[in-house]
Amino acid sequence: MRNRKIIVSIIICILLTLSISGCWNRRELNTFSILMGMGIDKAEEVGKVQLTAQIINVSELKQGGSSNKEAYLAVRSTGDTVFDALRNFTKESNRKIYLPHNKVLILGEDIATEGVQKYIDFFVRDHEMRLRESVLVAKGKAEEILNVKSELEKIPAAGISSLLKSQNATSEATDVDMKDFISRLMSKTTAPIAPLIEISGEEEKKVLRISGMAIFKQDKWVGELEGSKARGILWVIDKIESGIIVVDCPNEEGKMSLEIIRASSKITPELKGDKVSIKVEIKEEGHIGDQECPCELKSHDISSIEKMKTTVIRAEVISALEKARELNTDIFGFGDSVHQKYPKQWKDIESSWDEVFPEIEVEIVVDAKVRRSGILIMPASS
């Protein structure tokens, strides 16, 4: 009797586990096609969405391209909503599109300026998504971006993905995945950023180029930062991986490039009465990458290089800050840091953050160090 109860309860437990699994549905690998890149644009028909999907042609990928066919298929579909358009793919494609391995989600210029919220909702809500795809904003139509062939990669979307990864060599743009993007969008104050992608070059020699970072206000694209100004954002939000800072040689003519090896930053808010002030501490360490002037560097030279480097970093941060103030959008997450430190007072500030943000006093403390001079102590010719 007791035994039977135990057996019954075990079986009930096993059956219950069936109901808690999210994806009971089995499907074989050859029943769907793997999506590598997705572009969202406005359709020509008013009020409709156009999706451009880049899906893998697995059998072409298999034998290292024995035939001249492409390793991917570009398909296009329109619908009233994103999900609707996605399902409409099945009208032309015999396999359902499998989203979780998507690498890039490119937002067309028109929808980015209109507001992306209603277009990306599906990509966050769907239970299959991994939120790992990179979010990019296209200058122009997303479809055109996806149609530019990559020189080195078989699949354009994979090319875009690795192009983004390589941006950390300069740190003038950073890869923003869906999780980052959406968590910034969810915050009441922090504004999303995303790398900007554009086509450069003429007809046959079209190449893709990451031109900077797009700045959003809530879900609308309002402005952009390029080059070292974009790096100004990354200094503050601690996304600097590597990069080159060019300074003048101390004492002599010529320039030096300093490689960034390590960088970290810390945002400390302070609330005095109603006044918010922010202290941004940036710590940077680097090496001397090359040196044009043929002189031996003394230790006081090194400290003057460090000072110059500090100035450059500070200038980059200030230029980004000015842009943010101008657009009145909190791309640095200052609001969230205040919220974390002063949760009680935050309620009063929150509603008026738009007025508070441009007036915030920001103190920038940069601590830049030169650690090594490569494996040369002095230039070869000196």
Partner 1 sequence: MFNFLSKKLRSWQQQNQNINKENKENDNSKKTKENSQAKLSSNLKENLDSIKAILGVCEDLIIREFAFGNKGQISAAIIFIDGMVDRTLINDNIIKPLMYDNRFICEEESLEIKNIDIIKGTILYVGEIEKSTTINDLVESCLSGDTILLIEKAKEALVISSRGWETRGVVDPETETIVRGPREGFTENLRTNTTLLRRKIKSPDFMLEAMKIGRKTNTAISIAYLKGVANPEVIEEAKRRLKRIDTDGILESGYIEGFIEDAPLSIFSTIGNSEKPDTVAGKILEGRVAVLVDGTPFVLTFPMVFIEGFQSAEDYYSRPYYASLVRVIRFIAFAISILAPSSYVAATTFHQELIPTPLLFTVAASSEGTPFPAVVEVLAMGVIFEILREAGIRLPRPVGQAISIVGALVIGESAVSAGLIGGIVVIVIALTAVASFVVPAQTDSGAILRVILVILAGSMGGVGIMVGLIGILIHLASLRSFGTPYLSPLAPLSPFDLKDVFFRVPIWAMLTRPKSIVRQNIQRQKFILKPTPPPEKKDKGGSK
Binding footprint of partner 1 on the chain (CB under 8 A): 4, 7-8, 14, 17-18, 20-21, 23-30, 34, 56, 58-59, 61-62, 98, 100-101, 103, 128, 130
Rounded alpha-carbon distances, angstroms, from residue 292 to 109, 250, 286, 295: 42, 11, 17, 9
Residue with tokens 């079986």: 11
Output the smallest distance, CB 70 to partner 1, in A. 14
Task: List all residues 6 or more positions away from 280 whose beta carbon is below 8 Å from its beta carbon.
Answer: 236, 265, 266, 267, 268, 317, 332, 362, 363, 364, 365
* Token pair for 129: 């998504």
Taking residue 358's Cβ as centre, other Cβ atoms within 10 Å add up to 13
* Shortest spacing between CB 375 and partner 1, in angstroms: 35
Count CA within 13 A, CB hemisphere, residue 63. Answer: 6
Q: How far is the CB of 29 from partner 1 (least distance, A)?
A: 5
Please identify, using beta-carbon distances, which residue of 158 and 260 lies nearer to partner 1. Answer: 158
Q: Which is nearer to partner 1, 27 or 371 (CB)?
A: 27
In the complex with partner 1, which residue's Cβ is closer, 127 or 272? 127
* Nearest distance from C-beta of residue 303 to partner 1, angstroms: 46
User: Please, what is the minimum distance in Å from the beta carbon of residue 50 to partner 1?
Assistant: 25
Residue 59 or 351 having the CB closest to partner 1: 59
Q: What is the separation, in whole angstroms, between the first and last Cα of the chain? A: 95
Length of the chain equals 382
CA angle 209, 104, 56 (to 5 degrees): 110
Q: With respect to partner 1, which residue has the nearer C-beta, 27 or 118?
A: 27
Residue 356, helix vs strand vs coil: helix
Q: What is the closest distance, in whole angstroms, from the C-beta atom of residue 126 to partner 1 in the complex?
A: 11
Distance of closest approach, residue 82 Cβ to partner 1, in angstroms: 19
Smallest separation, CB 18 to partner 1 (Å)? 7
Q: Largest Cα–Cα distance of the chain, in whole Å?
A: 95
Residue with tokens 């549905």: 25
Q: Please give the Cα distance from 229 to 246 (Å, whole number).
A: 14
Residue with tokens 């069936």: 18
Assigned token pair, 143: 């479809």
Nearer to partner 1, 25 or 381 (CB): 25
Q: Which residues contact 310 (CB under 8 A, 6 or more apart)?
A: 366, 367, 368
Q: Does residue 77 contact residue 53 with C-beta atoms inside 8 Å?
A: yes
Which residue, 59 or 200, is less far from partner 1 as judged by CB?
A: 59
Closer to partner 1 by CB, 101 or 298: give it: 101
Q: How far apart are CA 336 and CA 323, in angstroms?
A: 19
Q: In this structure, are residues 165 and 185 in contact, taking their beta carbons and an 8 Å threshold?
A: no
Q: Which is nearer to partner 1, 156 or 269 (CB)?
A: 156
Helix (H) or strand (E) holding 13: helix 2-20
Task: Indicate the residue among 71 and 260 with the shorter CB distance to partner 1.
Answer: 71
Q: How far is the CB of 3 from partner 1 (least distance, A)?
A: 9
Read off φ and ψ for residue 203, nearest 5 degrees. Answer: -20, -75
Q: In whole angstroms, how close is the CB of 51 to partner 1 at the nearest point?
A: 20
